[in-house]
Structure 1
Amino acid sequence: MGPAIHCRWGRRMDIETPVLVVGGGMAGMSIAAFLCHQGIRPVLVERHQGPSRLPRARTINARTMKLYRTMGLEGVIRARPSVYAEWPGMARTDTVSGEEKFRPRAGEYTPPDVSPVTWGPINQDELERVLCDYARENGADIRFGTELVSYDAGDAGVTARLRERATGVEHVVRAAYLVAADGPRSRIRERLGIGFRDFRGIGTVCHYANVFFRADLTEATRGRPIGLWFLERPKPGTVLMPRDTKGTWVLMLPFSPESGGDLSDADCVDGVRAATGLDDAEIELLSDVPGEPRRIRTWELAARIADGYGRGRVFLVGDAAHVMPPTGAFGANLSVQDGHNLAWKLALVLNGRAGPDLLATYEAERRPVAEFTLDQALRHLRESTGMGEGGDGTVDELEVIFGYTYPSAASSQVAPAALHPRAASGLPGTRAPHIELTRAGRTISTLDLCTGRFVLMAGGDGQGWCDAFRRSAQRLSLPLDAHSDGDVEKGYGIEAAGAVLIRPDGFVAWRSPQRADDADAVAHGVLTGLLHP
């Protein structure tokens, strides 16, 4: 199908697009941007008028930052730091005014021997704007205030009916694929009949109502650089966090499902005063979405995972596929990485370079990662707040962020479910190790050579592999870069005449420790096997 039509909506339009993305949160905006980076111009619709100002995620981990860096966005993101850059601490106490009982550990440091980039503190709404700008500049058609009314998916594609909420005007979009990024209450997932099950029988841990407000809490905070407060008042499980350093805050109040989280303005003000310990504080309640009436938004702190990640031409990403506690900052980052995994595969299929069976590997690879990450998020929740039923003991956060693996048919050696990045050695199914190289007098990372296409990394005497893979890629019209460098041999587990093939997402797809007799045949077999699993 052709690219998205850029037009002034407002009258009924029939629109064709390769991919329709429903949901403009972090997961939806990320996959739209990743698709654009791969040359696919999607249509994205979001029912709200703009991003919520609630700082749901406030920092992105180094693995996610590397994906954004590939698109040239690292500098833009770092220029918009969240309050977490100045107030990185966490604390447990009865009220903000009270004495601290416990300071949970923060894990935002990334050693330079593990990754060329580190964490990026940015509020989710700011990040969504960065991604929206990038996607629009690169051909995406993004429409706020537009909702999905219905859709039909068949062998030939997806036909969706959209409605502009302000005018009621409806449009028909025909897409090759539909991506559901419509959150934990995903109507698309329900329409597909895909279950959303409690993870290990845990399900809902707590119900929360978000109160967005402005107040001077200097008397309570006393200059402490705390960006996340776990409080006992007005109820155990209460959470407070600043949106910025200028006096805007979010209070997360636990509530019973029977009440429905229906809080009056007086309830909200009383909750803030009880949580802060400032009985006479002046509180200004705010709307979290500019241009929309102020209302209390409720959500579940829960652990759930979808029974499947899609069906036919419809795929689930982000909270539509899994939800988890925010401890560890794993959930939003997992959602971004879901989108990246799916985007490069969709691009190859849409461009005719890969068969549709490649898309089945999305669920096969990403669902086990979600299960592993959910387990760790629950363990962090228990450690930080005492809530939930997670077991004791968490693995090193670097292992959660960088260490998850994918099943691989390219090696007789089975990779573990997770591998600490310092133990990575180029085994197929694992993340390609970060090794410093010298190029044109400057130091770069092997990961900087991974720019969204396949990359062949050969040893110092591996030029034969480079030539063979280039020839095969040219026959398949497949974008591929090839490099020969003796500095990668030890870290990638190859001899001087060996080579490693890295996928567009930075994971090792294949490895030959040494030279082969018929490199051309091997290269062609490897690439066709990856594109047509």
Structure 2
Amino acid sequence: MRELEVPVLIVGAGPVGMLMAALLADQGIESLLVEQRDDLHLAPQAHVINTRTQEILAGIGVTDEALAGITTHSAEARFVTWRQNLAEGDLARIDIGSAGYLASMAPASSKRTANIPQHHLERLLFAQVSRRVRCQTRFGHAWQGAEHSGHGAVSSVKDVATGETYRVRSDWLIAADGAGSPVRRSLGLPMVGETNLAHLITINFEADIRHLVKESPSILFWVLSAAAPGTFIVHDAARYSVFMTPYFPEYESPADFPPDRCERILRAALGDRHLPLRITSLSNWTMQAHIAAPYSQGRTFLVGDAAHRFPPTGGLGLNTGAADAHNLAWKLACVIKGRAGPGLLDTYGDERKPVAETNSRVSVANHRKMRQVTAALGLDEDKLPTMARLRASAPARALPAALRSAVKRLLVAPIDSRTRKVQRAATPGFAGIRRNVQLAAEAQMEHFNTLGLDLGYVYRSAAVCGGGAAAPMASNPVLEVAQSLTPGARLPHFRLQGAPGSPATSHDLVGHGHFLLAGFGRHGKACAGLAESASQQLGGVAVHAVDLDAVTHHADRPQLSAWNLGLPDAAILVRPDGHIAWRHAAATDARLEDVLGALCRVLQVPVPSREPLPSGARPVAPVS
């Protein structure tokens, strides 16, 4: 049997797998990426690409212009709307991208959450992976299983087209193979959480619906209808959208939703039975909230949906996976290069699993909280299965199709008539109900704006020094982020000054596998010498340095001390993933021993014995 050898085998060429491959390649690590599908996804899948993911993508060379080119909404399409169907007027609408909210986000990042369909993002990422010589990608190659040892894994991979099975010997195995992860299942790693939160049919379709949505240009439309309940994701109103509608396995299965029935449901939700349209694909899925109990076993690591799956209410799944890859890649590269102890890899699960648990909890809460809108309208979602039960009954199945449809119309007509009266505020009573529906919709803002979740998590692990320090808390940790220089927190965003072409923000200073020693006040100028000496003593571990007083935009300099508990001096060590590993905020000089101790603790290697300082280096004070 043919056998290949590679340092890292990545199973799954979705966004997280491809991002992992690119991040490793940029740190000098070769990988082989295998994917059982014969091509990239053709349908949108996920579509929310948040601020942090865009910062991570920038680190592998994805420009703002490239992302703008695949973003499917203009700034005007900033609403989320509730209607009886798309042809009816609004029952409620909220503005999730107002100028005021965007202005409040600006101090936290130069990036903005965008609607980018996953299949477009995958093509952009594939272009990035393809131009890296250390990445190999094979579509139509299915991972079959592996033999694991303390030295790595020997995987069996099948070429689906030819039927050939070959072996891949890798030092490390990364499972980026989705919610059903064959790699995770083969290891028997359990998933813990809530199952069967909802069951949905997804209808991808092509149609020009601009005339239906022009009064409320929205990313999402929630259809509150007994006849065709569900949600529209409007990727491009002129070309293609997605509609998701629930089904109830106690009474029906996906087989009960053939294309002709799905088209009838879709047209009822659109409110236009004559609109030219084409259904491009149908699928079904179960909404779950599961997290892997361990994120790794031996030399195998889970990332993305293989490690966690959330309800889509919040758009947190893909983005959490991108941060997984970002966290793991630099650690794995350091271990492979012999610059870190293997214990550093244990901090991957220690850091990322709590983030997934928080995001899962919020996603589930968002899903359940949406019932407030239907309850305000006077609809009982618990009665939705009744229609499925009636359709599944023997008498109903015995009726001709036309008669079944007539009976359904009779059953839903009173409900839809009442909903229409609410939308039109036909009486003072109905007007009051509509006001309540609007208030319930406005209470859903945490579903759609999650800046605090995206940027505000603070790691606690052996890869953070002083990880017990309390970080400031935002008043709403979902909507808002409280930036700080607390160890474990993401390096705050601030602007840099300099010539055109120089780094524009603080996040352009980090990444690419290097640590950053940054200081201000009395510590700023000393960072260059300390970083150089520390790098030499650790055998070439890359440690860059910057005097923040010299490079920070004058308007943002006051923030440095504000983020530092009001203190005027600090030296911070920033990890390759942009999270702060260590802070020295004392008025005494930071010593080489301090920096070395922090680096060695993070990397889990012994502190080296002292060597003579290189010529011209600043002497350090003796250890007290």
TM-score by length of 2: 0.76
Deviates more, 1:469-478 or 1:367-376: 469-478
Corresponding residue number in structure 2 for 1:291: none
Asked if 1:76 corresponds to 2:66, the answer is: yes
1:450 Cα deviation from its structure 2 partner: 1.1
Segment drifting more, 180-189 vs 207-216: 207-216
Inter-partner Cα distance in structure 2 for 1:65 and 1:393:
21
8 Å contact 2:59–2:511 — kept in the other structure?
A: yes
In structure 2, how many angstroms separate the alpha carbons of the residues matched to 1:412 and 1:104?
A: 39
Question: Distance in 2 between the 1:489 and 1:88 partners?
Answer: 33
- Alpha carbons 1:379, 1:392 under 8 Å: kept: no
SS of 2:572's partner is: strand
Counterparts of 1:394 and 1:245, CA distance in 2: 25
2:537 paired residue number? 475
SS state of the match for residue 407, structure 1?
coil
Q: In terms of mean alpha carbon deviation, does 129-138 or 203-212 score higher?
A: 203-212
Alignment-derived partner of residue 485 in structure 2:
426
SS in 1 for 2:195: strand
Alignment of 1:295-334 (within 5 A): 296-334=282-320
1:175 partnered with 2:207: no
Tell me the residue number matched to 1:242: 234
What does residue 490 of structure 1 align with? 561
* Alpha-carbon distance between aligned partners in 1 of 2:312 and 2:44, rounded to the nearest angstrom: 12
Aligned equivalent of 2:17, options 11, 21, 28: 28
In structure 1, distance between residues paired with 2:593 and 2:570: 15
Look up the match of 2:395.
Answer: none
How far apart in 2 are the matches of 1:249 and 1:115? 29
SS in 1 for 2:81: strand
- Quote the Cα distance in structure 1 between the aligned partners of 2:578 and 2:211: 48
Q: Contact 1:502–1:510 at 8 Å: present in 2 too? A: yes
**Mean CA deviation greater in 153-162 or 56-65:** 56-65
Structure 1 residue identity aligned to 2:31 = P
- Verify the 8 A CA contact 1:114 1:422 in the aligned structure 2: yes
Question: Partners of 2:444 and 2:269 in 1: how far apart?
Answer: 29
Question: Which of 111, 115, 124 is the matching residue for 1:121?
Answer: 115
Rounded to whole Å, the distance in 1 between the matches of 2:74 and 2:364 is 22
The residue aligned with 1:101 is 91
Please state how far the C-alpha of 1:105 moved relative to its aligned partner: 4.6
Alpha-carbon distance in 2 for matches of 1:515, 1:23: 50
Q: How does 1:394-405 map to 2 (within 5 A)?
A: 394=446, 397-405=450-458
Shift of 1:266: 1.1
Query: Are 2:561 and 2:568, in contact at CA under 8 Å, matched by a contact in 1?
Result: no
Provide the rounded CA distance (Å) in 2 between the counterparts of 1:497 and 1:410. 18
Q: Matches of 2:233 and 2:560 in 1, distance apart?
A: 46
1:54 and 1:250 in contact (8 A); partners too = no
1:365 corresponds to 2:351: yes
Amino acid at match of 1:90: V
* Amino acid corresponding to residue 308 of structure 2 in structure 1: H
CA separation in 2, counterparts of 1:305 and 1:264? 32
Q: Could you say which residue in structure 2 is the equivalent of 1:278?
A: 272
Q: Hey, what does 1:464 align to over in structure 2?
A: 526
State the 1:313 CA deviation. Answer: 0.7
Q: Structure 2 residue aligned with 1:226, among 198, 204, 218?
A: 218
Pairing 1:136–2:134 present: no
Name the counterpart of 1:205. 197
Letter in 1 for 2:26: H
**CA distance 1:247–1:219, change in 2 (3 Å):** same
**Corresponding residue number in structure 1 for 2:80:** 90
Q: CA shift at 1:360, angstroms?
A: 0.6
Q: Does 1:506 align with 2:495?
A: no
Tell me the secondary structure at the aligned position of residue 414 of structure 1.
coil
Q: Secondary structure, in 3 states, of the residue corresponding to 1:521?
A: helix
1:261 aligns with 2:248: no
Distance in structure 1 (CA, Å) of the matches to 2:140 and 2:44: 21
Match status 1:411 vs 2:466:
yes
Letter in 1 for 2:246: P
Paired residues of 1:399 and 1:418 also in contact (CA < 8 A): no
Q: Which amino acid in structure 1 is aligned with residue 178 of structure 2? A: G
Show the counterpart of 1:7.
none
More helix by share: 2
1:413 to partner: Cα distance:
4.4
Which one-letter code corresponds to 2:93 in the other structure?
A: R
1:444 aligns with: 504
- The Cα shift of 1:208 comes to 1.2
Q: What's the offset of the Cα at 1:436?
A: 2.3
CA contact (8 A) 2:495 2:506 kept: yes
Unaligned runs of 5+ in 1: 1-11, 288-295
1:500 shift after superposition: 0.5
Say if 1:443 and 1:521 are closer, same or farther in 2 by CA, change over 3 A: closer
* Number of residues of Structure 1 aligned to a counterpart in Structure 2: 510
Distance 1:363 1:495, change over 3 A: same
Question: What residue is the counterpart of 2:422 in the other structure?
Answer: none
Instruction: Indicate which of 44, 50, 53 corresponds to 1:61.
Output: 50
Q: Distance in 1 between matches of 2:592 and 2:214?
A: 67
Assess, with a 3 A threshold, how the Cα gap between structure 1 residues 355 and 413 changes in structure 2: closer, same or farther. closer
Structure 1 residue 274: deviation in Å?
A: 1.6
Q: Which amino acid aligns with 1:502?
A: V
Contact 1:405 1:417 (8 Å CA) reproduced? no
2: distance between equivalents of 1:120 and 1:171?
Answer: 41
Displacement of 1:516:
5.1
Give the 3 Å change call, closer, same or farther, for CA 146–385 of structure 1 in structure 2.
farther
| Distance in 2 separating the partners of 1:26 and 1:119 | 17
Label 1:82 to 1:412 Cα distance change in 2 as closer, same or farther (>3 A). closer
- Runs (4 or more) in structure 1 with deviation over 6 Å come to none
| Aligned CA distance change for structure 1 residues 417 and 160 (closer, same or farther; 3 Å) | farther
Amino acid of the residue matched to residue 278 of structure 2? E
Once residues 504 and 81 of structure 2 are traced to their aligned partners in structure 1, the CA distance between those partners, rounded to angstroms, is 38
The answer for unaligned runs of 5 or more in structure 2 is 375-380, 383-442, 550-556, 606-624
Higher alpha-carbon Rg: 2
1:105 to 1:85, Cα distance in 2 relative to 1, 3 A: closer
CA displacement, residues 231-267 of structure 1 (integer Å, 9 cap, x when unaligned): 1346675122234233322221211225331221211
Distance in structure 2 (CA, Å) of the matches to 1:305 and 1:412 = 24
Please tell me the root mean square deviation across aligned C-alpha atoms, in Å.
Answer: 2.8
Superposed displacement of residue 32, structure 1 = 1.6
Q: Is the 8 A contact 2:9 2:174 kept in 1?
A: yes
SS at match of 1:428: coil
1:235–1:348 distance in 2 versus 1, CA, 3 Å: farther
What is the CA-CA distance between 1:328 and the residue it aligns to? 2.1
Cα separation, 1, equivalents of 2:303 and 2:370:
27
Q: Which residue of 2 aligns with 1:152?
A: 147
